[in-house]
Chains A and B, each alone.
Chain A
Amino acid sequence: MASGRHHSRTSSLTRIDLADELGKQLGTSAAGKKVVHSFFDEIRKSLIAGERVQIHGLGSFRVVAKPARKVCNPKTGKKLMVPDQKALILRLSNKMRSQIRNADMIRPKK
């Protein structure tokens, strides 16, 4: 089902592309799909458990707490309370940051 998919219209890399890629290495695309799923699922589970996830060569995912704060609706002047929230941030590894920074191909698409 997924094997014939091409990206002439959209330019997003998705799970399917990664599964195809791994399928070449593992023999079947079904195996590729499982491994790609597990890769992101294990990171996800770890983050939900509050762990920091550090992937060498990519960066580290970290959950940070954002305390509750008051905001004003500028239109009505009403004060609102935004409750405590958690955010997920990715801090890139030095390697990946320089790979992005030094890519000549990256140009604004418009």
Chain B
Amino acid sequence: MNRNELIARIVARHPDILDRDNCRRCIDRIQARIVEALQNGDRVEIRGFGSFSVRHYPESSFRNPQNQKKVTVPAHPVLHFKPGKVLIEEINAGSPANRSSG
């Protein structure tokens, strides 16, 4: 599924609330807010789905065994996504769990 298909499915669920253009803008906002939060160093926690957080890798250096040159990798942030417990259980089961909320 790609972004356009996702938009179509959301619009199909809520024809009374939004159309395709509106939905596209909404998804843009969702993505922008997620990036903003992560850039601020905040976590993003979506219950039942998963959480996004930024991990910090310290500077490290290696020596290339072929030419003995030292390579330094600077400290850098990396995004970490941890799937939610329920979601990963559902994926393993191959079917949605019985939950009251639809």
Contacts and interface: CB of A to CB of B under 8 A. Distances in A.
Interface of A: 7, 11-15, 17-18, 21-22, 25-26, 31, 34-36, 38-40, 42-48, 50-58, 63, 85-90, 92, 96-97, 99-101, 103, 105-109
Contact of B17 (A21, A31, A96): A31
Nearest to A57: B31
Contacts of B22: 25-26
Given A25-B29, A89-B81, A90-B81, A99 B92 contact: no
Nearest to B4: A56
Interface in B75-102: 76-79, 81, 83, 87-88, 90-92, 94-96
A35 B9 CA distance: 11
A108 B58 CA distance: 10
A48 B95 contact: yes
B73 interface: no
A42 B9 CA distance: 7
**Which of B3, B31, B90, B91 has the most A CB atoms < 10 Å from its CB?**
B91
A17 B87 contact: no
9 contacts: A12-B44, A13-B33, A34-B13, A40-B48, A42-B6, A44-B48, A48-B94, A99-B39, A106-B40
